[in-house]
Amino acid sequence: MGKHIPMRMCVACRTMHPQNEMLRFVKDTEDNTVKPDFDKTHFGRGAYICNNDECIAAAKKKNGLEKHFKCEVPRKIYEVMKGR
């Protein structure tokens, strides 16, 4: 019997992937800002995007993070994640 691998859905392509292969973003509950969570340890509501430039571009085009978090997200966040 294998170890359980948590799966998460990409906000851009809506496919499920292992959590450790995806980029995580978190909405800080104190100041209502969205930021990347590189080490996946921050507390708050999270959203995931596949770790590829196509999904990052699609999420930016579709306003995927804005829809998920129901708040405004700075466009530079998407640029920070490209190439990670």
Q: Is residue 71 part of a domain?
A: no
Q: How far apart are CA 13 and CA 81, in angstroms?
A: 16
Tens of pLDDT, residue by residue over 8-66, are 999 999 999 999 999 999 998 888 889 999 898 888 889 999 999 999 999 999 999 99
Give the total number of structural domains in the chain. 1
Strand ranges, E, within 15-78: 16-18, 22-27, 34-36, 45-50
Contact 50, 12 (CB under 8 A): yes
Q: Quick one: pLDDT at residue 80?
A: 81
In one letter, which amino acid is 71?
A: C
User: What pLDDT score does 10 carry?
Assistant: 97
Domain that holds residue 22: 1-62
Within a domain: 78: no
Task: Say if 82 falls within a structural domain.
Answer: no
Confidence (pLDDT) at 83: 65
CATH code (residue 42) = 3.30.1230.10
